[in-house]
Amino acid sequence: MKYRNLTVLTSDLGLIFDIRRFSIHDGPGIRTTVFFKGCPLSCWWCHNPEGQSRAVELWWRENRCLRCNACLSSCPQGAISWQGERAATDETLCALCGNCVAACPAEARQLIGRQMTVAEVMAAIEKDLPFYDESGGGVTFSGGEPLLQPHFLLELLQACKAKELHTALDTCGFAAWEALEAVRPYVDVFLYDVKVMDDQAHQKYTGVSNRLILRNLRRLAEGGCRLALRVPLIPGVNDSPQELRQLGEFAASLPGMPPIDLLPYHQTALGKYERLRVEYLLPDVHPPSPQALDSAAGILREYGLQVRIAGQAAEVPRQKILP
């Protein structure tokens, strides 16, 4: 079967939208998390919507704007104009040159995404080598979806292993098996996202089927890879007893019965959608209550699974599984 959205980026440069230091929720210990731009899914609740597009984007923070017109006068394309109180950018004219970003005294404008070499990313990673050693931490590759840039990801993983760094890959699993097979010798733990078990609901809320995702997950488990399943718990989407029992049955059937991290739904990314001028599709959904989280965890534990609430992936023991 051919899947749409699997087209990968093959440049020697990687498209990165953030490198976050001192992360404690993306694997064991203190970590540096590298965020790859581009994702084959379009989850309604995505907390990194700036990571979905496979291209550099421009966003604007209205609350920082001084209405000084510096951006208008700096744009060689004439792409910026006032629309009411908004300094709007005509995307058909914008060349993403970054002149307006440099000209803005309040940093209200920002380019999301930067092309980087392996050496540049590694230079950022290596700033925190002492913290990795002291805490048992390392590097996590996240996104977006890192496997959309498989060649660049592989080179980074190999560079990390040359430095004997612990590596984690946060992935949605919607990728060609060949891409996963190539990187798995260099990944110490896969932080594997499982969004929704019902395939029709998965297609509705993410834009793709979950069949490839679940098949890849099983193959990794059968290959002896260390895994932690990350499940965003979203009221009205994937929190029904039926959905949770389907998840529990599937996870318990995997070799090694990987632990599950329940990630409570939140709306902290709403401002990002506003800056990107993208509609947020779950405006009326509220975070699950502590009782709902405990109930969901209880259902999953009936299957003998280890369940952690609030995404405490830092509890994943540091252990190298693959040679």
Residue 176's region, left for phi above 0, alpha for psi from -120 to 50, else beta, is: beta
| pLDDT level of residue 296 (50, 70, 90 thresholds) | very high
Write the pLDDT tens digit of every residue in 77-134: 999 999 998 899 999 999 999 999 999 999 999 999 999 999 999 999 999 999 999 9
Asked whether residue 320 is assigned to any structural domain, the reply reads no
Q: What is the mean pLDDT of the chain?
A: 93
Of 112, 133, 156, at which residue does a domain stop?
Answer: 112
Q: What does 151-203 look like in DSSP terms, one character per residue?
A: HHHHHHHHHHHHTT-EEEEEE---S-HHHHHHHGGG-SEEEEE---SSHHHHH
Asked whether residue 43 is assigned to any structural domain, the reply reads yes
Asked whether residue 2 is assigned to any structural domain, the reply reads no
Q: Are residues 246 and 107 part of one domain?
A: no
Q: Are residues 65 and 174 part of one domain?
A: no
Distances (CA, A) of 302 to 92, 273, 275, 299: 54, 38, 43, 5
Cα–Cα distance measured from residue 214 to residue 231, given in angstroms and rounded to the nearest whole number: 13
Q: Are residues 216 and 283 part of one domain?
A: yes
Q: What pLDDT score does 318 carry?
A: 38
Q: Residue 258 belongs to a domain with what CATH number? A: 3.20.20.70
Its domain, for residue 281, covers 13-53+114-309
Q: Give me the number of domains the chain comprises.
A: 2
Cα–Cα distance measured from residue 195 to residue 162, given in angstroms and rounded to the nearest whole number: 33
Of 70, 90, 112, at which residue does a domain stop?
Answer: 112
Asked whether residue 193 is assigned to any structural domain, the reply reads yes
Write the pLDDT tens digit of every residue in 239-290: 999 999 999 999 999 999 999 999 999 999 999 999 999 999 999 999 999 9
Mean pLDDT, residues 214-229 = 98
* The overall pTM is greater than 0.85: yes
Q: Are residues 38 and 166 part of one domain?
A: yes
Q: What pLDDT score does 3 carry?
A: 47
Q: Are residues 129 and 42 part of one domain?
A: yes
Q: Report the Cα 113 to chain-centroid distance in Å.
A: 14
Asked whether residue 7 is assigned to any structural domain, the reply reads no
Write the pLDDT tens digit of every residue in 302-316: 999 999 996 444 344
